[in-house]
Structure 1
Amino acid sequence: MTDPLAPLLDLPGVADAVASARDAVAQVHRHPTNRRGWPATAAEASVRAARASAVVEGGNPEIPDEGGVSDPVTAGALRVAEALGPLLGTWERAPMQALARLHVLAAADLVADDAGLGRPRPGVGVAERLDMLAGLVVGGTKAPGPVLAAVVHGELLALAPFGVADGVVARAAARLTSIQTGLDPKGLAVPEVFFMRQAPRYREAARAFATGTPEGVAQWLTFCCEALDAGAKEATSIAEAAVAP
C-alpha cells in the first residue's frame, strides 16, 4: 500500500527541515547531562511544555510555590503533561482512547457539564478523520517522526474534535508522537515554547495546513521542524542549567 504521508517529504523545504530537526533533537540526547540525568531534565521540559501550551491557549503560566494552580487552562495542561508517560502505550495501540483521556484531563475545569468530556463532537467527517489519523499513528505510515508529529498536531488543530481545549490536546498528542516515533524518546525537546513565542506565526501556519494545499502543508511542516530546532535549544539550556554550579 502507498504511504499516505510519503509525498509530504517532496514538498519544498520539508526534507531539509526534517533532517535539521532530527539532528538537533538527537544532539540533545547526547548531551552528557542527559545520559544519566535525563529524568530530571525531562521533568523540567514537561513542565515548560505544559506552561507554554497553556499560554498559547490563553492560560496563565504562573505556578504558585504553594497551593494549587487556579487557572483552569494551566491546571489542565499540567494534568495532561503528567499523564503523557503512562499514556504512551495507549497512544501506540489505541490513539482514540488516549485522545479521550487527554481531553478529560485538559478540559475538566473548563466545562460545566462533564458529559462531553473525552467525546468527539458530532459533525460531518469528524469521526472519519479521527479514524484516519489513528490509523497513521498505529503504523499506517513510515514517515519520519517530525512529519507524523506535525500532521497529528495540525490535523487536531484543524479538526477541533472536542470544541474545548483542543489546542492543549493537539500539542500533547504531537509530543506523544515525537516520543513514540523515537524522534524524542525521552521527551527532552520543548517546541511548545517556540509555539508560544511565535504565536501569530503558529496560528497562521496552522490555518495554512488546514487549507490542505501543498503550499499550506509545507508551511506547517517546516514551521513545526523549526519549532523542534528551537525546542532542542531549550532542552540544551535545561541540561546546561542542571550542571551549572
Structure 2
Amino acid sequence: MSSAAPPPGPSASAPPGRPDPLAWLVALEGVPSAYAATRDGIDVMLRDRGLRRTSPETTAESLLRGAHASAVLEGSSSTLAEVREGAGDEVARDAVRVSTELLSLVPRVRQSPLQAFARIHALAATGSVEPDRLGRPRDPEAAGRLRDIATVATSQGSEGAAPALLVAAMVHAELISAAPFVSHNGIVARAVERLIIVARGVDEKSLCVPEAGHLALRPAYESNLRGYAEGGAAGVHAWVLYGAEAFAAGAEASPLRRAAAE
C-alpha cells in the first residue's frame, strides 16, 4: 500500500468532527443487528454457564486455546495437546508467552494502549528479533499508524457509538493491515482484540476464545482481511460483518461450552 494512501479503516472513511471515530460504522447495513445478536449470545452464554462455573482454571484454558489458535493462524503446526504440554513449536511458544501476561495489561490498554501494544509485541517477539526492536514500530509511518489505532482503541462514545465488539474488530484489522512491528503482527492483533473485549466489559473473565473463532472461519478471516487492507468501503463493511460472525464462533469455542456438555 502506498505511503501516500490513507489507512483503510476509520481514518480513511469516518466523517470529520465525530467524537467516536467508528460511529459511522453503526449506520452500515446489517451491522447493528449483527453485533446486537452476537453480544446477546455472549451475554446469555456467560450468564447461564459462566457465573456459576467459572474459575481461574477456566480462564487459563480459554487463554491457552486462544494462544494455540492464534499460533496456527500465524503458521504454527502444533496441536492443542502439544501446546498444553509445553511441547509446541516456536510460534506456539511465542503465542503462549503472550497469553500468560495478557490479562495483566487490561488497565494499560484502557489508559495507554500504545504501551499495551508494545508490551504484547515484546512478549511475542522475544528471542526472534533484536532487543532494540522489541515493542518498537518499524518506522515513523508505522508509529503514526499506531497512534491512530490507539485513538480508536480508547474511543468512547455516547448513544449511537460503536459497540465494544466492533471496536475490537476494527483495532484487530488495523493492526494487521498496518503491520507496525517487524514481526508477530498477527499475534499482536489477535491478542489486542481479546484484551479490548475484556477491558470493555464484554467478557471480563476472558472465557470466550475469539482466536478460535477466526481459526474456525479461516478462509473468511483471511479473505476479509485482504479486502479490508485494499482500503475500499466494501472491504471495511465486509470485515465488520465478518467480525460479528467470528465473535459468535469464539463464544462457541469457550471452555464453558465443553463444561456444559460434560
TM over 0.5: yes
Matched residue, 1:232:
251
Inter-partner Cα distance in structure 2 for 1:174 and 1:55: 17
Give, in angstroms, the shift of residue 172 of structure 1.
0.3
Match 1:56 to one of 67, 73, 76: 73
**Aligned pairs for 1:17-166 within 5 A:** 17-62=34-79, 63-64=81-82, 68-111=86-129, 113-123=130-140, 125-141=141-157, 142-166=161-185
Match 1:167 to one of 164, 186, 189: 186
Matched residue, 1:191:
210
Inter-partner Cα distance in structure 1 for 2:46 and 2:59: 11
Aligned pair 1:210/2:229, yes or no? yes
- The AA in structure 1 aligned to 2:244 is C
Matched residue, 2:12:
none
Inter-partner Cα distance in structure 1 for 2:25 and 2:213: 23
Inter-partner Cα distance in structure 2 for 1:223 and 1:38: 30
Inter-partner Cα distance in structure 2 for 1:221 and 1:157: 14
Aligned residues: CA RMSD: 2.0
Give, in angstroms, the shift of residue 22 of structure 1.
0.6
Inter-partner Cα distance in structure 1 for 2:83 and 2:150: 39
Matched residue, 1:219:
238
Give, in angstroms, the shift of residue 32 of structure 1.
3.4
Match 1:9 to one of 23, 26, 36: 26
Inter-partner Cα distance in structure 2 for 1:56 and 1:137: 23
5+ residue gaps, structure 2, are: 1-16
How many residues are paired up?
Answer: 241
- The AA in structure 1 aligned to 2:193 is A
- Does the 8 A contact of 2:49 with 2:260 survive in 1? no
5+ residue gaps, structure 1, are: none
TM-score, with length taken from structure 1: 0.90
Q: Which moved more, 1:203-212 or 1:64-73?
A: 64-73
% identity of equivalent residues: 39
CA shift in 2, pair 1:4/1:30, >3 Å: same
Matched residue, 2:8:
none
